[in-house]
Structure 1
Amino acid sequence: MIRSFSKFLPALALSTGLAAPTALACTSLLVTKGASTDGSTFITYSADAHELYGELYYTPARRNAAGAMRDIIEWDTGKALGRIPEAPVTYSVVGNMNEHQLTISESTFTGRKELEGPSGIIDYGSLIYIALERAKTAREAIQVMTSLTAEHGYASTGESFSIADPKEAWILEMIGKGEGQKGSIWVARRLPDGYLSAHANQARIRQFPLKDPENTLYAPDVISFAREKGWFTGTDKDFSFADTYHPLDFEGARFAEARVWSIFRRAVPSLGLGVEYVNGSDPSKRLPLWVKLERKVSVQDVMALMRDHFEGTELDMTKDVGAGPYAVPYRWRPMTWDVDGKKYVHERAISTQQTGFSFVAQMRSWMPSPVGGVLWFGVDDTYTTVYTPMYAGIRRAPKNFAQGVASRGQFSWDSSFWVFNWVSNQAYSRWSDMIVDVRKTQGELEGQFLADQADIEKAALELYKTTPEQARSYLTDYSLQQGEKVHARWRRLGEQLLVKYIDGNVRDETGKVNHPRYPDSWYRHIAQDAGARLAIPAEKTPEPKPAPAPTPPVAEQKPTVAPPQ
């Protein structure tokens, strides 16, 4: 299946030596078990690309014959890159979580232009899905991924990977060695327990411990390679992976780090993170790699962190004139533009219209993996999606989420991707009104899933005690039913929105059609822009008619007496 990511957008020129900016395509956050309310580990992913069709990938477990080979198909383009030996045994994978609860996500940072076009056949997408099929833990996944690129070469640009299992969460950052060179440069760091981290298309690991293999792993030549290239001349302890292989610039701060900033500011408000770093006014106020939480987060909190348009900040996308009369927090591309010789930007928020799919992965160490792992999966925009529980042990994907139902260029009412896009694209036209209806239905569905979760898992655990396969069948049926339920309810929501808001009207609960005004602020914009043409002429007060000239008095006439005869 070709999963086409279009990752490049027009943007402001970058400094010499750096690659053209990516589409700033993905966002991921990580939460350690000590930072969650119930001891879960979480990672998230929003796969954002204008040509990505959102679907739930499913790969069954396999036993492979000796000498079996695996085709490497580039995830972005569908191009065949080569073949590698297959592992004797591979694990089942639903979306980006395998049957052992191991979960991997990513965001592309691209990095130095000199390091593009390396010699290799393993692209970043293949790294993710091969590791999920071959590894049980985050540490094993790092070993698989780095060994694959060492043996077969890396075929992509710079990537940040979130890698987590029920006990640990790691960030792995990797980049190739440039044209004609095999292998990769990389560093991986384990989050301290009780902490949260995030990345969003900007390399984030700077200095790192050189003698702490329990918490930090890295390529043997990660520093020496930079010295050979002349990119670093300091002492080893001062070496920064991010500053060397992906130096920060304005776009990196404004389009990428701004999303991390928005997660951190909401997760730990007491940090008082100002906007100076991300708006470019003070680049020295760099964000930490991770933050310690003062209040532990639940799965519902993590879902909320993935729904954001910078509301309540200087970057709030609902506030400027680009939001229109209905406070729409979306801007159509390109992200950079110029008028009258001056360049400007649109903000890039976590919630964005071009999301293909997203998820919140929940991993729990105290349960058997088929029950403990939940991939809360959604299609389209994170703000308007419904995160639906897909358990790690399921045997197939719901038909409306499944691969092959439709494509980015082929609409189908059987596809949840298209039904959710139908709803969100209606909402984009009258956001401040329609989002109330959307969030109400979203909350009802997700709220019911969360309310039912304990009972569903209690039943599954009882089955697992005697017949693990029966527990997997039970969870498969449950996940499929919820996927079908969400699909049907969302299509009905789209129908209701069309009836309620057709032609600019608003039909109330009694069926009465109303014609609400635009907000006064929007009328002021209209008046300022076209008031001279649209203004109703003031009625002229008719001038008073002049008073008639006074009639001269008539002289009193005396009666005439006839003369005597």
Structure 2
Amino acid sequence: MAETGARSTLRAVLVGGAATALTLPLAGAAGEPGDGTPAAAQVDQQAGSSREPTKSIGFYVGKDLTDDGSVLLGGFGHEPSSHWLEIVPRREFAEGATTTVGITDEARMPGELIEIPQARETNKYITSHYSEFAGFPAPLTNGGLNEHGVAARDIWSPSSERLLEFTDDVQTGPNYSDLSRIAMERASSAREAVEIVGSLIDEHGYSSYGGNSHLFADQDEGWVLVNYGGNQGLWAAERLGPDEARVSFPGYLNPFPVDFQDHPDEYLASDNFIDFAVEQGWFDPDESDEFDPHEVYGGLLPHDRQVSETHPAGYNMQGELEEELAEELAPVSLQDMMAYVRDPRWSHDRSGYGQVAQLSDVKHPELNKLWTAVTGAVTTPYVPIYIGAEDVPPEFKQHRYMTKGAAAEWLAADYAPLEATRYATRTFKRLMYHTCEDPETFLQPVTAEIEEFERDLLREQERIERRAQARLRSGREELGRELLTDYVGERLLDALELGEEVVSAVEERTREDSGIRLPSGRELPGETFRAESQSMNRGGLDGAANDIVHCYREALDDYPREHGAYSDQAGDLLGRDKPGKPGRPGELSELGGVGADVDPESLRDALDSARQEHDPDADWDAFADAVQRELDD
């Protein structure tokens, strides 16, 4: 067969400038621990503020219920503070090193900090950090994804009042965030995460705010663990199989067999888990061969929907939502889970971020990734954060906006350049507030812009991963990590630019249509300042003025919905026929762009990738076509 001009040119490039590359070796929740706010600052938190401990949500879908055989874990934490992204590097520590855990006397259930042994080496992991919770030292975390493909979510799970009466005057031991962090630092499987958390509670105790839970998952299975308040060392965990969907909202356990210790593949718990209840007269093993943890120790029985000011669509309806995932949405796709975490029934101003982990047998550990929205996903796009990336842009790191204690002292000069950058969380909070002021007008077109952006990101993942894999498997790990770092950074900044463009469009239209609504405030007899200068916190306001900010309206749509359901509205807000594509033309040529000279590393990537599929000695044409496709990508 005659060579085409393109293939002839490619042959010249390969033979003349990269022949040696053909022989490159291939390398084989959390709950609410009280506000701890000084009395003088609580003037605005009178009757009507309703700060019940209803925080965080987690969704698990086993691999038999997903469209591609991966395990899905999604969710977020409810915290009224700043949130920021962090890729925590792998660390090595000297023998005898310790880590600080616990809570302080500022917590609603006070405690004291202690030191416990640190591991000699800790895993790399991705997380969303935050600063809220009186008495719980920042930075706090609800989990994330580590280099071994272990994902974690942390969700409140209230213990009963009768159990909490046993709480020590001064608690010691790791708190919920410490346990989440240490699991990410040390676990190589979901089960091991449970064993690590359980052993930490067994050895050091647990500093509680009233009861908590964790969802851990890897490519094979999930585990839900509840750590109970009351300082009795009580904890228990239940395996989640491949054909299960679990919603923690709050976290709960199903009944255990009394002989659960004979079934270690399905159940794990503290040695005193049933014995303590027997000693208190709360359970009689002679009357039942099943032990219901929530009936005995729980403060809120699951599957009983509750509606509140902070959850206008309700919470504690785990069974309903599990049915949605296992029946209405199954087989569940990554996009389905992204839309589900974004659902305005629970994603609102209390949502600190959005995370979705798609857990499968990746071709290289550095290609594990966590799809992350830096703040509430209802109006924030997800961006894939690869574990192989080294860092994120400054705009996605800690800033002083909504960070606990930031208003109490001047900024340290060391942090001035970081604080001077734009703050992505602030941008997407602005978009949320504008959108939720008039969701009937804005929620669907805003969602359309965001999800069209995400769909473009989804389409390019295979190409990015092929390029990164070519470097990682051919002994060029540093260049592979550099590619992933550049990619993650570029796409995060693209998301920020999209957010700024969309929020500007929504704000402009709001000003034109109705103007910016100003607060009515509170009646404060004898005071002359305007309502705009009163406290902006909830409390003391009338009716809907005291609500949290949320976009949920029952008549707005039927939920759950498909990702991309509003695609016909993409571009409407921005006044163009097509929504913006991720990336700025010409900037990502090293990642595979066209229109520029092929750089050596891109050529090496293309050669390595093509050689995995075709032997150039056996079928030159197929090999050359594969290289050309890689370069065209």
Please report the TM-score for the alignment, with normalisation by the length of structure 1. Answer: 0.70
Matched, 1:193 2:242: yes
Q: Which amino acid aligns with 1:475?
A: L
CA contact (8 A) 1:399 1:405 kept: no
Kindly state the Cα deviation for residue 247 of structure 1 after the two structures are TM-superposed: 4.5
Kindly state the Cα deviation for residue 269 of structure 1 after the two structures are TM-superposed: 4.5
Kindly state the Cα deviation for residue 45 of structure 1 after the two structures are TM-superposed: 2.0
Kindly state the Cα deviation for residue 397 of structure 1 after the two structures are TM-superposed: 2.4
2:115 counterpart residue number: 83
1:169 counterpart residue number: 222
1:380 counterpart residue number: 375
CA contact (8 A) 2:302 2:318 kept: no
Matched, 1:395 2:430: no
Q: Which amino acid aligns with 1:263?
A: L
Looking at structure 2, the residues matched to 21 and 259 of structure 1 have their Cα atoms a distance apart, in angstroms, of 20
Against the structure 1 CA distance between its residues 451 and 262, is the aligned structure 2 distance closer, same or farther, given a 3 Å change threshold? farther
- SS of the residue corresponding to residue 502 of structure 1 reads helix
1:213 counterpart residue number: 264
- SS of the residue corresponding to residue 228 of structure 2 reads strand
1:434 counterpart residue number: 442
What does 1:18-417 correspond to in 2, within 5 Å?
22-49=52-79, 51-72=80-101, 74=103, 81-95=113-127, 96-116=144-164, 117-118=167-168, 119-156=171-208, 157-178=210-231, 181=232, 184-208=233-257, 210=260, 211-235=262-286, 237-248=289-300, 253-255=305-307, 258-269=316-327, 295-309=330-344, 349-371=345-367, 373-404=368-399, 406-408=401-403, 414-417=422-425
Looking at structure 2, the residues matched to 482 and 394 of structure 1 have their Cα atoms a distance apart, in angstroms, of 12
Q: Which amino acid aligns with 1:138?
A: A
Against the structure 1 CA distance between its residues 192 and 21, is the aligned structure 2 distance closer, same or farther, given a 3 Å change threshold? farther
- Give the number of the structure whose residues are more often helix, by fraction: 2
CA contact (8 A) 1:5 1:52 kept: no
- SS of the residue corresponding to residue 57 of structure 1 reads strand
1:479 counterpart residue number: 488
Looking at structure 2, the residues matched to 400 and 355 of structure 1 have their Cα atoms a distance apart, in angstroms, of 19
Kindly state the Cα deviation for residue 48 of structure 1 after the two structures are TM-superposed: 0.8
- SS of the residue corresponding to residue 389 of structure 2 reads coil
1:489 counterpart residue number: 498
2:583 counterpart residue number: none
Kindly state the Cα deviation for residue 200 of structure 1 after the two structures are TM-superposed: 0.8
1:41-95 C-alpha deviation (Å, 9 max, x unpaired): 211121112x221211332111101111112265997996211111111111111
Looking at structure 2, the residues matched to 203 and 158 of structure 1 have their Cα atoms a distance apart, in angstroms, of 11
Looking at structure 2, the residues matched to 452 and 74 of structure 1 have their Cα atoms a distance apart, in angstroms, of 44
CA contact (8 A) 1:43 1:103 kept: yes
What does 1:472-551 correspond to in 2, within 5 Å?
472-505=481-514
Looking at structure 1, the residues matched to 92 and 190 of structure 2 have their Cα atoms a distance apart, in angstroms, of 22
Looking at structure 1, the residues matched to 267 and 145 of structure 2 have their Cα atoms a distance apart, in angstroms, of 23
The alignment of Structure 1 onto Structure 2 pairs a total of residues equal to 430
Against the structure 1 CA distance between its residues 134 and 250, is the aligned structure 2 distance closer, same or farther, given a 3 Å change threshold? closer
Kindly state the Cα deviation for residue 267 of structure 1 after the two structures are TM-superposed: 2.2
1:443 counterpart residue number: 451
1:371-428 C-alpha deviation (Å, 9 max, x unpaired): 0x21111133232221111012221123222234644366987111111110110112
CA contact (8 A) 2:31 2:155 kept: no
Looking at structure 2, the residues matched to 234 and 53 of structure 1 have their Cα atoms a distance apart, in angstroms, of 47
Against the structure 1 CA distance between its residues 450 and 105, is the aligned structure 2 distance closer, same or farther, given a 3 Å change threshold? same
CA contact (8 A) 1:32 1:41 kept: yes
CA contact (8 A) 1:207 1:238 kept: yes
1:421 counterpart residue number: 429
Looking at structure 2, the residues matched to 7 and 497 of structure 1 have their Cα atoms a distance apart, in angstroms, of 36
CA contact (8 A) 1:405 1:415 kept: no
Looking at structure 1, the residues matched to 58 and 30 of structure 2 have their Cα atoms a distance apart, in angstroms, of 20
CA contact (8 A) 2:88 2:126 kept: yes
Against the structure 1 CA distance between its residues 73 and 407, is the aligned structure 2 distance closer, same or farther, given a 3 Å change threshold? farther
Against the structure 1 CA distance between its residues 269 and 70, is the aligned structure 2 distance closer, same or farther, given a 3 Å change threshold? closer
Looking at structure 1, the residues matched to 378 and 386 of structure 2 have their Cα atoms a distance apart, in angstroms, of 22
Q: Which amino acid aligns with 2:284?
A: T
Looking at structure 1, the residues matched to 360 and 326 of structure 2 have their Cα atoms a distance apart, in angstroms, of 24
Looking at structure 2, the residues matched to 488 and 137 of structure 1 have their Cα atoms a distance apart, in angstroms, of 37
2:603 counterpart residue number: none
- SS of the residue corresponding to residue 187 of structure 1 reads strand
Kindly state the Cα deviation for residue 356 of structure 1 after the two structures are TM-superposed: 1.2
1:461 counterpart residue number: 469
CA contact (8 A) 2:341 2:354 kept: no
Structure 2 residue ranges without an equivalent (≥5): 1-28, 36-44, 128-143, 308-313, 407-418, 516-554, 556-633
CA contact (8 A) 1:101 1:392 kept: no
Looking at structure 1, the residues matched to 509 and 425 of structure 2 have their Cα atoms a distance apart, in angstroms, of 23
Q: Which amino acid aligns with 2:355?
A: F
- SS of the residue corresponding to residue 200 of structure 2 reads helix
- SS of the residue corresponding to residue 28 of structure 1 reads strand
Looking at structure 2, the residues matched to 199 and 464 of structure 1 have their Cα atoms a distance apart, in angstroms, of 37
Kindly state the Cα deviation for residue 250 of structure 1 after the two structures are TM-superposed: 9.5
Larger Rg: 1
Please report the TM-score for the alignment, with normalisation by the length of structure 2. Answer: 0.63
Against the structure 1 CA distance between its residues 251 and 364, is the aligned structure 2 distance closer, same or farther, given a 3 Å change threshold? closer
Against the structure 1 CA distance between its residues 5 and 477, is the aligned structure 2 distance closer, same or farther, given a 3 Å change threshold? farther
Structure 1 residue ranges without an equivalent (≥5): 13-19, 271-292, 310-348, 507-520, 522-565
CA contact (8 A) 2:277 2:283 kept: yes
